[in-house]
Amino acid sequence: MGESETPTAVTGRTPTGAMTAVAVFLLVEILIATPLYVLLSLRIADPMLLVVAVMVSPAAAALLTWAITGVRPRVGPLRVWPILAGASIGFVVAFAYWIGSLAHVFTPTGIDPWITLVGLPVSVVLAAGEELGWRGMLLPQLRRRFRFASANAIVVVIWALFHVPIVVAGAYGDLAGLPWMFLIVVLFSFLIGTIWEYGGGVVMASLAHGVWNLVIQSFLATAFVENIPYAAGEFGWFPAIPLALMLAGALVLRTLRPPRRPPLDDLA
């Protein structure tokens, strides 16, 4: 068993308090998000503002968990290659869409560069509102207790359930495409979770998440028209293909050059 697969050996100490921090974080997140979900379903407030509030609620929950338990969110180191690897996810998917247009899955309609220039900073900031919770608080604490696959699987389940009330309320996607959204959440979460193991941290995850949201929801949505139902977007099957290929490559790299340890050396 490798060092990166021995959670308690990662820091040289028993992960006392890790699951307490996870439980507090999840409880606080539920208490914050539930009223927002209710308001969304009742449609008595601006849906866009409510969705934004839901998106940043994991960061609020992480900060409150820090105040309650003393376990602080892990921002992680600033390392160039993990950050570039995270950002490249959106560009690889964009390239795959172009390949898809050659196969007549999509029809190109033209590129609007202003969407990226104007939307990227906002998208990354909103993504950080999620990632400070998911890969700043939740994943680091889970990795103190569980192996790579188990810890990331728990994050996947929680992250997927986090989106369901928004979909049911009709504020994001639709129910028919929900299975594809779940698949994309699994692939994307494990992909950036793998990069996180090499010291990617929250900055990498936020950039990857922000670029993904912008590329999928805005840039590609205006640059291509789908010729096959449920092919495009986070509720379509096509983006799952490049994500699966990238994840396979990342897992092969992890096997050939396993990370020495996840970035947990200074956890409280």
What does the pLDDT read at residue 79?
87
Q: Has residue 129 been placed in a domain?
A: yes
- Domains contained in the chain, number: 1
Identify which of 204, 202, 198 has the alpha carbon closest to the alpha carbon of residue 254: 198
Q: Which two tokens stand for residue 182?
A: 């779940």
Identify which of 239, 266, 206 has the alpha carbon closest to the alpha carbon of residue 83: 206
What does the pLDDT read at residue 15?
44
Residues 6+ apart with CB under 8 A from 232: 97, 106, 220, 221, 224, 226, 238, 239
pLDDT digits (tens, 9 = 90+) for 149-193: 999 999 999 999 999 999 998 888 888 899 999 999 999 999 999
Q: Has residue 31 been placed in a domain?
A: no
Q: Has residue 33 been placed in a domain?
A: no
Q: Has residue 222 been placed in a domain?
A: yes
Q: Has residue 261 been placed in a domain?
A: no
pLDDT digits (tens, 9 = 90+) for 231-250: 999 999 999 999 999 999 99
Q: Has residue 52 been placed in a domain?
A: no
**262 phi and psi angles, rounded to 5 deg:** -65, 160
**Integer Cα distance of 188 and 35 in angstroms:** 28
Predicted TM-score (pTM) of this structure: 0.89
What does the pLDDT read at residue 261?
65
Task: Give the structural domain span for 205.
Answer: 74-256
**Integer Cα distance of 126 and 59 in angstroms:** 10
What does the pLDDT read at residue 8?
39
**Integer Cα distance of 34 and 95 in angstroms:** 38
Distances (CA, A) of 160 to 115, 214, 228: 27, 19, 25
What Rg value do the Cα atoms of the chain yield, rounded?
18
Q: Which two tokens stand for residue 157?
A: 């389940």
